[in-house]
Amino acid sequence: MASANISELKNSLRELYLADQRPWLVGFSGGKDSTLVAHLVFDAVQSIPEEQRTKEIAVVCTDTRVEIPAIVEMIETSLAKMRKCSAEQKLNIEVHLLRPPPEQSFWVNIIGRSYPPPNRTFRWCTQRMKIDPVTRFVEQRMGRWREAILHLGARRAESATRAQTLAGRETRNGLTRHPDLPRVWVSNPIQFLTTEEVWAYLLQTPAAWGGSNRNLYKLYNAAGGGECPIQIDTSTPACGNSRFGCWTCTVVEKDKASEGLLQSGDERMEHLLGFRETLIEFRDPANGYRDMKRKNGADGPGPLKIEGRRELLKRLLKLQEETAQRN
Ligand code: SF4
């Protein structure tokens, strides 16, 4: 069942590739769904004769600069392999790891700008650290591209809300218009696959860029099964609701990925989980680190006080020393 579905998907991607010259963007988060989409794109291009591989393709991935170390390592390894494979096989696929500029990093916003560590109602981080770097990249490219197609790994089986969002969007030839970037068309090639079908394919098929997906599976097991999809607009589910997010994430109640990794022997997570508790402590107005007036003058828990920011910086530098010693 899975392989029949997947070979149809490969064929339609091949047809889409040959249908026009519109460049492709491929959102890659390192999770299973976007790994499968990247597989399918590599497979589609490999099946096309070299002289016809004229389409520009860019795989884009974001690194918030506060990602869980084991996840970043896996992503960097995969991206390096993709780059090598594309160069050796002349696939014309570029690979980009996008980061927020230093002035929009987590620590600059907290210690420099006094933002409280994020929560569900004030989740200032996703836009600045994940969405904006992708939007900036796409806008730069759109200067010379008339239109582009963005392939994502969203699936209806992920959640009822996701299914509703996917079903509700305007489509043209199976593509939906990006809600914020009007010249970008979004393709969700694996939207009808189940989680079992995704894993079945990934575990039975070597990665198109070399190596197997066993390490990815192991990481999922160690991290408790969650992932943070690449964020392209505000309708993408909050990575705070899943578990492969930043190690600093205070949006989720429990950081299951970090805890799972620690339990499975990744000792680096011990200090990082401890510091996450510090962030929660600083966010709680009862501990006196926050002004009791908001920036707009209204009463209520507002920005971090200067003394709190100094103290947090001191503790962060200590954490840096401790983790450097461990490495
Ligand atoms: S993982 Fe958490 S801290 Fe990181 S961008 Fe998402 S919501 Fe913000």
In angstroms, the CA 107 to CA 114 distance is: 9
Q: Tell me which residue of 65, 54, 231, 229 sits closest to 137, measured CA to CA.
A: 231
Using most ligand atoms within 8 A of CB, pick from 64, 105, 122, 134 the residue to mutate for ligand 1.
64
In angstroms, the CA 14 to CA 175 distance is: 15
Find all residues with CB under 8 Å of 185, minimum gap 6, and list them.
22, 147, 148, 149, 150, 172, 175, 176, 177, 178
What's the pLDDT score for residue 165? 72
What's the pLDDT score for residue 326? 61
- The CATH code that applies to domain 2-102+129-234 is 3.40.50.620
What's the pLDDT score for residue 1? 43
Q: What is the pTM of this model?
A: 0.88
Query: Atom 5 of ligand 1 has which residue's CA nearest to it?
Result: 126
What's the pLDDT score for residue 78? 95
Distance 255 CA to ligand 1 centre (A): 11
Query: Atom 6 of ligand 1 has which residue's CA nearest to it?
Result: 239
What's the pLDDT score for residue 235? 54
Distance 11 CA to ligand 1 centre (A): 36
In angstroms, the CA 132 to CA 126 distance is: 8
What's the pLDDT score for residue 253? 85
What's the pLDDT score for residue 181? 87
200-254 per-position pLDDT tens digit: 999 999 998 988 888 888 888 877 655 555 555 555 544 444 457 899 999 988 8
Low-confidence ranges of the chain (pLDDT < 70): 1-4, 162, 168-170, 224-243, 325-327
Q: Tell me which residue of 314, 258, 301, 127 sits closest to 250, measured CA to CA.
A: 258
87-105 per-position pLDDT tens digit: 999 999 999 999 999 999 9
> From start to end of the chain, where are the E strands?
24-27, 57-62, 93-98, 148-151, 171-172, 175-177, 184-187
In ligand 1, the atom with minimum distance to the C-alpha of 252 is: 2
Q: Which two tokens stand for residue 26?
A: 């491929």
What's the pLDDT score for residue 144? 84
What's the pLDDT score for residue 238? 47
What's the pLDDT score for residue 169? 66
Distance 179 CA to ligand 1 centre (A): 21
